Structure 1
Amino acid sequence: MATINRKEIVQALERLGQLARERGITIDLVLVGGALMVLVYEARESTRDVDAIILEPPQAEMVRELARVVSAERGWMDEWLNDGAKGYLVGLSSGPVVFSAPGIQVRRPATAQLLAMKLSAWRDDIDIADARRLLQEMSGSREDIWHAVEPYLVPGDELKAQYAFADLWETHNGDN
Protein backbone atom coordinates (compact mmCIF):
# COMPACT_ATOMS: atom_id res chain seq x y z
CA MET A 1 0.00 0.00 0.00
CA ALA A 2 1.64 3.19 -1.14
CA THR A 3 -1.14 5.65 -0.34
CA ILE A 4 -4.74 5.72 0.87
CA ASN A 5 -7.41 7.69 -1.00
CA ARG A 6 -10.63 9.26 0.30
CA LYS A 7 -12.81 6.25 -0.50
CA GLU A 8 -10.38 3.88 1.22
CA ILE A 9 -10.18 6.11 4.31
CA VAL A 10 -13.97 6.11 4.61
CA GLN A 11 -14.21 2.35 4.12
CA ALA A 12 -11.47 1.69 6.69
CA LEU A 13 -13.09 3.99 9.26
CA GLU A 14 -16.49 2.38 8.67
CA ARG A 15 -14.96 -1.07 9.18
CA LEU A 16 -13.17 0.13 12.31
CA GLY A 17 -16.52 1.34 13.66
CA GLN A 18 -18.17 -1.96 12.79
CA LEU A 19 -15.48 -3.91 14.66
CA ALA A 20 -15.85 -1.55 17.64
CA ARG A 21 -19.62 -2.11 17.77
CA GLU A 22 -19.11 -5.87 17.67
CA ARG A 23 -17.00 -5.46 20.84
CA GLY A 24 -19.51 -3.13 22.48
CA ILE A 25 -17.34 -0.02 22.33
CA THR A 26 -17.45 3.30 20.53
CA ILE A 27 -14.34 4.87 19.04
CA ASP A 28 -13.84 8.63 19.18
CA LEU A 29 -10.92 9.98 17.14
CA VAL A 30 -9.49 13.39 16.33
CA LEU A 31 -8.12 13.34 12.81
CA VAL A 32 -5.03 15.39 11.94
CA GLY A 33 -2.53 15.40 9.09
CA GLY A 34 -2.86 14.15 5.56
CA ALA A 35 -5.99 12.06 6.00
CA LEU A 36 -7.85 15.14 7.18
CA MET A 37 -6.58 17.10 4.19
CA VAL A 38 -7.89 14.31 1.91
CA LEU A 39 -11.18 13.62 3.69
CA VAL A 40 -12.35 17.10 4.67
CA TYR A 41 -10.45 19.70 2.66
CA GLU A 42 -10.00 17.68 -0.55
CA ALA A 43 -6.55 19.26 -0.74
CA ARG A 44 -4.98 16.16 -2.26
CA GLU A 45 -5.89 12.75 -3.62
CA SER A 46 -4.26 10.50 -1.03
CA THR A 47 -2.09 10.15 2.07
CA ARG A 48 0.33 7.59 3.49
CA ASP A 49 -1.61 6.93 6.69
CA VAL A 50 -4.39 8.16 8.92
CA ASP A 51 -2.97 10.31 11.73
CA ALA A 52 -5.43 10.37 14.60
CA ILE A 53 -5.61 10.99 18.33
CA ILE A 54 -7.58 8.28 20.11
CA LEU A 55 -9.96 9.86 22.64
CA GLU A 56 -12.20 6.85 23.30
CA PRO A 57 -11.93 4.21 24.47
CA PRO A 58 -9.34 5.27 27.07
CA GLN A 59 -7.40 2.07 26.34
CA ALA A 60 -5.93 3.13 22.99
CA GLU A 61 -4.47 -0.36 22.49
CA MET A 62 -8.02 -1.65 21.88
CA VAL A 63 -8.31 0.67 18.87
CA ARG A 64 -4.84 -0.27 17.65
CA GLU A 65 -5.85 -3.95 17.82
CA LEU A 66 -8.98 -3.31 15.75
CA ALA A 67 -6.94 -1.24 13.29
CA ARG A 68 -4.60 -4.21 12.83
CA VAL A 69 -7.64 -6.34 11.90
CA VAL A 70 -8.58 -3.74 9.27
CA SER A 71 -5.01 -3.66 7.96
CA ALA A 72 -4.94 -7.46 7.64
CA GLU A 73 -8.26 -7.46 5.78
CA ARG A 74 -7.13 -4.73 3.38
CA GLY A 75 -3.51 -5.83 2.97
CA TRP A 76 -2.27 -2.57 4.49
CA MET A 77 0.59 -1.86 6.84
CA ASP A 78 -0.32 -2.28 10.51
CA GLU A 79 0.31 1.43 11.18
CA TRP A 80 -2.27 2.77 8.72
CA LEU A 81 -3.96 4.29 11.78
CA ASN A 82 -1.14 6.25 13.37
CA ASP A 83 -1.68 7.77 16.81
CA GLY A 84 1.90 9.07 17.02
CA ALA A 85 0.85 12.59 16.01
CA LYS A 86 -0.04 13.47 19.61
CA GLY A 87 3.56 14.58 20.09
CA TYR A 88 2.93 17.40 17.62
CA LEU A 89 -0.14 18.74 19.38
CA VAL A 90 -0.10 21.51 21.94
CA GLY A 91 -3.38 20.94 23.73
CA LEU A 92 -6.35 19.75 21.75
CA SER A 93 -8.85 22.23 20.42
CA SER A 94 -12.45 21.31 19.83
CA GLY A 95 -13.56 21.07 16.24
CA PRO A 96 -16.56 19.67 14.40
CA VAL A 97 -17.37 16.04 13.68
CA VAL A 98 -16.14 15.27 10.15
CA PHE A 99 -17.13 11.61 9.89
CA SER A 100 -19.56 9.42 11.75
CA ALA A 101 -20.65 5.82 11.31
CA PRO A 102 -22.00 3.20 13.70
CA GLY A 103 -19.34 2.59 16.34
CA ILE A 104 -17.10 5.51 15.41
CA GLN A 105 -17.04 9.29 15.51
CA VAL A 106 -14.24 11.35 14.00
CA ARG A 107 -13.68 15.06 14.58
CA ARG A 108 -10.96 17.53 13.73
CA PRO A 109 -9.20 20.21 15.75
CA ALA A 110 -9.77 23.91 15.10
CA THR A 111 -8.35 25.13 11.80
CA ALA A 112 -5.89 27.36 13.68
CA GLN A 113 -4.43 24.31 15.41
CA LEU A 114 -4.11 22.42 12.13
CA LEU A 115 -2.35 25.39 10.56
CA ALA A 116 -0.02 25.61 13.56
CA MET A 117 0.92 21.95 13.10
CA LYS A 118 1.73 22.50 9.42
CA LEU A 119 3.73 25.66 10.15
CA SER A 120 5.65 23.89 12.92
CA ALA A 121 6.48 20.98 10.60
CA TRP A 122 7.08 22.91 7.34
CA ARG A 123 9.09 20.02 5.89
CA ASP A 124 8.13 19.80 2.25
CA ASP A 125 5.83 20.93 -0.54
CA ILE A 126 2.99 18.86 0.92
CA ASP A 127 3.10 20.76 4.24
CA ILE A 128 3.24 24.05 2.35
CA ALA A 129 0.28 23.12 0.13
CA ASP A 130 -1.71 21.93 3.15
CA ALA A 131 -0.91 25.14 5.05
CA ARG A 132 -2.00 27.21 2.05
CA ARG A 133 -5.32 25.32 1.95
CA LEU A 134 -5.87 25.78 5.69
CA LEU A 135 -5.10 29.50 5.47
CA GLN A 136 -7.89 29.78 2.89
CA GLU A 137 -10.29 28.47 5.55
CA MET A 138 -9.40 31.27 7.98
CA SER A 139 -10.45 34.89 7.91
CA GLY A 140 -8.99 37.95 9.51
CA SER A 141 -5.91 40.08 9.33
CA ARG A 142 -2.38 38.69 9.32
CA GLU A 143 -2.09 39.54 13.02
CA ASP A 144 -5.48 38.00 13.88
CA ILE A 145 -4.62 34.71 12.23
CA TRP A 146 -1.12 34.61 13.71
CA HIS A 147 -2.56 35.20 17.20
CA ALA A 148 -5.07 32.37 16.64
CA VAL A 149 -2.29 29.99 15.53
CA GLU A 150 0.41 30.97 18.04
CA PRO A 151 -0.91 29.11 21.13
CA TYR A 152 -0.78 25.81 19.22
CA LEU A 153 2.80 26.02 17.92
CA VAL A 154 5.07 23.14 18.82
CA PRO A 155 7.60 24.35 21.43
CA GLY A 156 10.98 24.88 19.85
CA ASP A 157 9.50 25.46 16.39
CA GLU A 158 8.02 28.91 17.00
CA LEU A 159 10.61 30.85 15.00
CA LYS A 160 10.46 28.44 12.05
CA ALA A 161 6.67 28.66 12.15
CA GLN A 162 6.77 32.46 12.26
CA TYR A 163 8.96 32.60 9.14
CA ALA A 164 6.83 29.96 7.45
CA PHE A 165 3.68 31.95 8.22
CA ALA A 166 5.24 35.15 6.86
CA ASP A 167 6.17 33.38 3.61
CA LEU A 168 2.76 31.76 3.37
CA TRP A 169 0.90 35.01 4.03
CA GLU A 170 2.95 36.99 1.51
CA THR A 171 2.48 34.31 -1.15
CA HIS A 172 -1.26 34.16 -0.48
CA ASN A 173 -2.08 37.81 0.28
CA GLY A 174 0.87 39.94 -0.71
CA ASP A 175 2.41 42.19 1.93
CA ASN A 176 -0.96 43.07 3.54
Structure 2
Amino acid sequence: MERTGEISIVGGAVMFLVHEARATTRDVDAFCHPASAIHEAARRVADRFEDEVPPDWINDAVKGILSPNGGFENWLEMSNLRVMTAQPAYLLAMKCMAMRLEEESHDIDDIRFLVRHLDLKTADQVLDTVVKYYPADRVPQKTVYALEEVLDGLWNDVEDRHSGSGSTPDRSTPPSPFDN
Protein backbone atom coordinates (compact mmCIF):
# COMPACT_ATOMS: atom_id res chain seq x y z
CA MET A 1 0.00 0.00 0.00
CA GLU A 2 1.52 3.31 -1.08
CA ARG A 3 1.31 6.12 1.44
CA THR A 4 1.18 9.80 0.66
CA GLY A 5 1.98 12.68 2.93
CA GLU A 6 2.50 16.39 3.20
CA ILE A 7 5.05 18.31 5.22
CA SER A 8 4.63 22.06 5.74
CA ILE A 9 7.98 23.49 6.82
CA VAL A 10 8.57 26.69 8.78
CA GLY A 11 11.47 28.20 10.72
CA GLY A 12 15.16 27.68 10.19
CA ALA A 13 14.71 24.90 7.65
CA VAL A 14 12.97 27.37 5.31
CA MET A 15 15.72 29.91 5.91
CA PHE A 16 18.27 27.21 4.95
CA LEU A 17 16.48 25.43 2.09
CA VAL A 18 14.62 28.24 0.34
CA HIS A 19 16.47 31.44 1.16
CA GLU A 20 20.00 30.05 1.69
CA ALA A 21 20.21 32.51 4.58
CA ARG A 22 21.80 30.02 6.97
CA ALA A 23 24.45 27.36 6.85
CA THR A 24 22.66 24.96 9.23
CA THR A 25 19.57 24.18 11.28
CA ARG A 26 19.19 21.93 14.32
CA ASP A 27 15.86 20.48 13.26
CA VAL A 28 13.00 20.84 10.82
CA ASP A 29 10.01 22.67 12.29
CA ALA A 30 7.06 21.26 10.41
CA PHE A 31 3.40 20.35 10.45
CA CYS A 32 2.99 16.85 9.00
CA HIS A 33 0.02 14.98 7.59
CA PRO A 34 -0.51 12.16 8.28
CA ALA A 35 1.65 12.79 11.33
CA SER A 36 2.20 9.17 12.32
CA ALA A 37 3.40 8.08 8.86
CA ILE A 38 5.69 11.09 8.43
CA HIS A 39 7.20 10.66 11.91
CA GLU A 40 7.77 6.95 11.27
CA ALA A 41 9.58 7.78 8.02
CA ALA A 42 11.61 10.46 9.84
CA ARG A 43 12.57 7.92 12.51
CA ARG A 44 13.80 5.53 9.80
CA VAL A 45 15.91 8.31 8.27
CA ALA A 46 17.41 9.09 11.69
CA ASP A 47 18.13 5.39 12.28
CA ARG A 48 19.86 5.07 8.92
CA PHE A 49 21.93 8.24 9.31
CA GLU A 50 22.34 8.16 13.09
CA ASP A 51 25.72 9.92 13.05
CA GLU A 52 24.39 12.82 10.98
CA VAL A 53 20.68 13.19 11.76
CA PRO A 54 19.28 13.52 15.29
CA PRO A 55 16.31 11.27 16.16
CA ASP A 56 14.02 14.27 16.74
CA TRP A 57 14.94 16.09 13.54
CA ILE A 58 11.29 16.78 12.67
CA ASN A 59 9.74 19.00 15.33
CA ASP A 60 5.98 19.40 15.14
CA ALA A 61 5.65 21.68 18.18
CA VAL A 62 5.08 24.44 15.63
CA LYS A 63 1.42 23.37 15.47
CA GLY A 64 0.78 25.67 18.42
CA ILE A 65 1.80 28.82 16.53
CA LEU A 66 0.34 28.19 13.09
CA SER A 67 -2.03 30.90 11.90
CA PRO A 68 -5.22 30.11 9.98
CA ASN A 69 -4.20 32.99 7.69
CA GLY A 70 -0.75 31.52 6.99
CA GLY A 71 0.32 30.69 3.48
CA PHE A 72 2.56 27.96 2.11
CA GLU A 73 4.18 27.41 -1.28
CA ASN A 74 5.05 24.14 -3.02
CA TRP A 75 8.75 23.44 -2.64
CA LEU A 76 8.98 19.77 -3.66
CA GLU A 77 6.41 17.42 -5.12
CA MET A 78 7.03 13.70 -5.43
CA SER A 79 4.72 10.79 -6.14
CA ASN A 80 4.12 10.14 -2.45
CA LEU A 81 5.19 13.33 -0.68
CA ARG A 82 4.57 17.04 -1.03
CA VAL A 83 6.79 19.49 0.82
CA MET A 84 5.47 23.01 1.36
CA THR A 85 7.36 25.98 2.83
CA ALA A 86 6.00 29.01 4.64
CA GLN A 87 5.68 32.11 2.47
CA PRO A 88 8.21 34.82 3.45
CA ALA A 89 5.71 37.24 5.03
CA TYR A 90 4.15 34.44 7.08
CA LEU A 91 7.58 33.23 8.17
CA LEU A 92 8.48 36.79 9.22
CA ALA A 93 5.29 36.99 11.28
CA MET A 94 6.09 33.68 13.02
CA LYS A 95 9.67 34.77 13.71
CA CYS A 96 8.41 38.05 15.20
CA MET A 97 5.90 36.22 17.38
CA ALA A 98 8.64 33.93 18.73
CA MET A 99 11.46 36.52 18.72
CA ARG A 100 13.85 34.60 20.92
CA LEU A 101 16.57 37.01 21.97
CA GLU A 102 19.07 34.44 23.27
CA GLU A 103 22.48 34.43 21.60
CA GLU A 104 22.05 30.90 20.22
CA SER A 105 18.75 31.81 18.54
CA HIS A 106 18.74 32.80 14.87
CA ASP A 107 15.45 34.70 15.09
CA ILE A 108 16.97 38.19 14.93
CA ASP A 109 19.17 37.35 11.92
CA ASP A 110 16.22 35.63 10.24
CA ILE A 111 13.98 38.65 10.88
CA ARG A 112 16.59 40.99 9.40
CA PHE A 113 16.96 38.78 6.34
CA LEU A 114 13.19 38.54 5.79
CA VAL A 115 12.70 42.29 6.30
CA ARG A 116 15.27 42.95 3.56
CA HIS A 117 13.78 40.22 1.35
CA LEU A 118 10.31 41.76 1.69
CA ASP A 119 11.73 45.30 1.30
CA LEU A 120 10.15 46.52 4.54
CA LYS A 121 11.65 49.75 5.86
CA THR A 122 10.05 50.40 9.25
CA ALA A 123 8.98 48.58 12.38
CA ASP A 124 5.39 49.65 11.63
CA GLN A 125 5.55 47.89 8.25
CA VAL A 126 6.83 44.74 9.96
CA LEU A 127 4.07 44.92 12.59
CA ASP A 128 1.47 45.44 9.84
CA THR A 129 2.76 42.20 8.31
CA VAL A 130 2.55 40.36 11.65
CA VAL A 131 -1.07 41.39 12.28
CA LYS A 132 -2.11 39.98 8.91
CA TYR A 133 -1.49 36.58 10.50
CA TYR A 134 -1.97 37.08 14.25
CA PRO A 135 -4.30 39.28 16.32
CA ALA A 136 -2.61 42.53 17.38
CA ASP A 137 -3.32 41.82 21.06
CA ARG A 138 -1.28 38.59 20.83
CA VAL A 139 1.89 40.30 19.54
CA PRO A 140 4.38 40.18 22.43
CA GLN A 141 5.50 43.54 23.80
CA LYS A 142 9.13 42.41 23.49
CA THR A 143 8.54 42.17 19.73
CA VAL A 144 7.12 45.68 19.52
CA TYR A 145 10.02 47.14 21.51
CA ALA A 146 12.76 45.05 19.90
CA LEU A 147 11.81 45.71 16.26
CA GLU A 148 13.09 49.30 16.29
CA GLU A 149 16.44 48.09 17.62
CA VAL A 150 16.54 45.10 15.26
CA LEU A 151 15.91 47.34 12.25
CA ASP A 152 18.20 50.16 13.38
CA GLY A 153 20.94 50.48 10.79
CA LEU A 154 19.67 47.51 8.78
CA TRP A 155 19.44 49.35 5.47
CA ASN A 156 22.73 51.22 6.09
CA ASP A 157 24.40 47.83 6.59
CA VAL A 158 22.99 46.62 3.26
CA GLU A 159 24.24 49.75 1.47
CA ASP A 160 27.71 49.26 3.01
CA ARG A 161 27.85 45.67 1.73
CA HIS A 162 26.78 46.71 -1.76
CA SER A 163 29.53 49.31 -1.84
CA GLY A 164 32.12 46.57 -1.39
CA SER A 165 32.94 46.71 2.32
CA GLY A 166 31.25 43.38 3.09
CA SER A 167 31.88 39.83 1.97
CA THR A 168 29.67 37.16 0.48
CA PRO A 169 29.67 33.70 2.06
CA ASP A 170 31.16 30.87 0.00
CA ARG A 171 28.34 28.58 -1.16
CA SER A 172 30.39 26.47 -3.57
CA THR A 173 29.87 23.36 -1.41
CA PRO A 174 26.40 23.14 0.09
CA PRO A 175 26.64 22.31 3.80
CA SER A 176 24.56 19.67 5.52
CA PRO A 177 21.60 21.35 7.22
CA PHE A 178 22.50 19.48 10.42
CA ASP A 179 26.12 20.64 10.75
CA ASN A 180 26.84 22.19 14.12
- Tell me if both proteins adopt one fold, taking TM over 0.5 as the criterion: yes
Runs of 4+ that moved beyond 4 A: 153-157
TM-score of the two chains, using structure 1 as the length reference: 0.73
Deviation at 1:120, TM superposition (A): 1.9
1:30 corresponds to 2:5 = no
Partner of 1:66, secondary structure, is helix
Structure 2 counterpart of 1:105, from 71, 74, 82? 82
Count the aligned residue pairs.
149
Equivalent pair of 1:53/1:85 in contact (CA under 8 Å):
yes
Distance 1:97 1:164 in 2: 32
Equivalent pair of 2:71/2:90 in contact (CA under 8 Å):
no
Deviation at 1:141, TM superposition (A): 5.2
TM-score of the two chains, using structure 2 as the length reference: 0.72
1:1-176 matches, cutoff 5 A = 23-54=1-32, 56-57=33-34, 60-75=35-50, 76-123=53-100, 124-125=102-103, 126-140=106-120, 142=122, 143-153=124-134, 156-173=138-155
Deviation at 1:156, TM superposition (A): 4.5
Equivalent pair of 2:6/2:83 in contact (CA under 8 Å):
yes
Structure holding more helix per residue: 1
- Change beyond 3 A, Cα 1:146–1:157: closer
- Change beyond 3 A, Cα 1:45–1:31: same
Distance 2:19 2:129 in 1: 20
Give per-residue Cα distances to partners, 1:57-88, cap 9 Å, x unaligned. 3xx11211111111111113321111111112
Deviation at 1:134, TM superposition (A): 0.9
Aligned-CA RMSD value: 2.3
Q: Whose Rg is larger? A: 2
Structure 1 runs not aligned, ≥5 long: 1-22
Higher mean displacement: 151-160 or 76-85: 151-160
Distance 1:103 1:74 in 2: 21
What residue number does 1:20 align with?
A: none
Distance 1:70 1:139 in 2: 38
Partner of 2:71, secondary structure, is coil
Distance 2:85 2:130 in 1: 15
Structure scoring higher RCO (CA < 8 A, sep ≥ 6) equals 2
